[in-house]
Structure 1
Amino acid sequence: MSSMPADELTVAPTRSGPRRRLVVLVVVLTVGVLLVDQLTKVWALANLLETARRPLLGDLLGLRLVFNPGAALSIATGMTWVLTLIACAVVVVVVRVSRRLGSTGWAIALGLLLGGALGNLVDRLIREPGFGRGHVIDFIAYANVFVGNVADIAIVTAAALVVLQALRGIRLDGTREHTEPEHGSPKHAEPAPAELEHGEHGPDAPGADG
């Protein structure tokens, strides 16, 4: 009966352990963003009005209730079903790629993205006017530009992290696009044994033969 080499026995746990922790990080962030998003929307429905804006930082930041049938900046209004399908696709893709995680930065980005996508997807599935056509609850007013929610903040933050990881050349599995020396710049090559033997007076150096 042949036995498995010792190095093969030790490699699997070292790979599966960190990956499992990264998946747990994705799940925790996803659930956290989803809960905060939905709880703040419940609070907004109970305390804010569509007709009144509550200032927080003057005209720069405020609170105002908005029922958004479209995407951010009210884009694609009237295409709620399409946006619902896109959100479902995003959720499926994030869940699938999370199996190849090897980077903490990517894990944070995917957790925020998945939580934000689910937060707005829940609105489209359960809120008026009906299943798949529900209006997203927005209540954070940024100047007079647009009104968003916690899910939007998570999605934007995730997008910024994805760009940062791409600029750093870090792939989803944690490897880099360009291999770099482990300790910075490469060290000078060690002198060959022949050079050590001759010292400063190599075979061609003056006085080397006598």
Structure 2
Amino acid sequence: MITVYGYSSSGNCHKLKLLLTQLEREFKWVEVDSTAGQTRTPEYLARNPNGKVPMIELEDGRVLTESNAIMCWLAEGTPYWAGDAWQRAQVLSWLFFEQYSHEPYIAVARFIRGWTPLDSPRRASLPQLRERGHQALAVMEQHLKSQPWFSGEAYGIADIALFAYTGVAGDGGFDLEAYPAIRQWLERVKQTPRFIEMPGPSVEAVSRLAVPD
């Protein structure tokens, strides 16, 4: 049994829920609201000193963190991360792209708009985040003009990683109208077997906003 500690509205956490569901792997989900400080408790930090979600724990007590590393481990030996060393390295390159060039802008813009009050000073960074996010989307659009997937010839973990926050980019103020290849890819992902949607901010998270958004 795999125990997943995650925040359901987080794309990094939803990646694991989606992959495990599509792999038809049994797992236990433990909801950890990182926006309410639940990743900073002594009990959680004892398992993950970095104080972030997601995290998985095996029955023997072993712990693994970082969403894309967890996906690689889960997908090992499955069609979701297939091919020779070169093909698998291509998948890894998209996973690194997602964490370095995509998630820091598209996901952060979503968080600021959905989890911070209108008078938050963090909102001043939204124009720059959108500029950098659109740069990442342009790279994805260029790839998808000639390739249907990011994981090689078929859907896999690179697609799951990039879908998580691209699928809710509108929450961060990103208009995908100028990216027809991305929009078609998003629809292809949604048509994969056992696909599940990611929920938006919880009622509790919204209620913590000093000023409603």
**TM-score normalised to the size of structure 2?**
0.26
- Larger CA Rg, structure 1 vs 2: 1
